[in-house]
Amino acid sequence: MRQLFVLDPIQQINPVKDSSAALMQAAYRASVEVWICTLPDLQAKGSTSWAIASPVIPQPWITQGEPKTCQLIDFDCIWMRKDPPVDDAYLYATHLLEIAEREGVRVLNRPSALRAWNEKLGALRFSELMAPTLVSSRVIDLAAFAKEQGEVVLKPLGGRAGQGVVRVSDSSAGLEALLELVTDQQRLPVMIQRFLPEVMNGDKRILLVNGKPLGAVNRRPRSGDFRSNLAVGGTPEITELTIREHQICDEISPVLRENGLFFVGIDVIDGILSEINVTSPTGVREVERLMEVPLADQIIDCLIGSLS
């Protein structure tokens, strides 16, 4: 079996923390040939898809072979693990990977779903599970929502890892000026949500594989911040899923499977759904370390089972 991982440049990946590294190493332990490439390495020749890819031995990190021009149909599975932003290069790559999908290759996650499921807007499919939320570019509507809710968070729709997320109250001086700034003078929509003070006790990342929750980690904000993302200083903690969190997973899982979203990370605050992360979900290393479970191996075993 051969699997291709579409990644950021390999030099940027920290194997101690990176979920892609964990998955590559688990695939190697399962006797899978592991290959890597970056977005510029993807090609289409007529109706066939290709990549300039390199074979690797990811354990110990990392021995890379000579790059070769490979037809994508020769891989059993392709992991699209390029980190956001979801920019033009990312979107064009999903179209190239869709050619491979038409040729019969399993692409994770499905290219069409990567385009359709913005990690902020995707959760709106389950708005009844979320805090009160508005997406708009109109300052007057955003300000009215803030006044109604009292305290809110502003989230840029293209942000990642907590970047650009702002907490404000309806009485904050300069609120309308801030809204003008984050909407680029009412050109771009942003998400505004009621602030959940329970986030100070943690924001739970739950990892779902083929719709099944296989691991979770609680992320507690650092002192002086409300953002719990590990990339901005959040601290991972051991956790277990509550009955409510299992209910959330049960409700969204059939939709994820139907859309070809094999590996997904959802964020839940005090039983309230916050985001659905589909591009390159993280948290595998933290779950493995805190829960002492071989999560990456379980993910690869699940994938191999679904391919057979």
What's the CA dihedral at 216, 220, 225, 231 to 10 degrees?
-50
Phi-psi region of 69 (alpha: psi -120 to 50; beta: other; left: phi over 0): beta
Cα(294)–Cα(263) distance, integer angstroms: 16
Cα(221)–Cα(297) distance, integer angstroms: 29
DSSP secondary-structure letter at 280?
A: S
Active site residues: 120, 155, 205, 219, 227, 267, 275, 277
Cα(183)–Cα(155) distance, integer angstroms: 10
Please choose, from the candidates 299, 275, 302, the residue with its C-alpha nearest in 3D space to the C-alpha of residue 285. 299
- Other beta carbons within 10 angstroms of residue 191's beta carbon come to 23
Coil vs helix vs strand at 114: helix
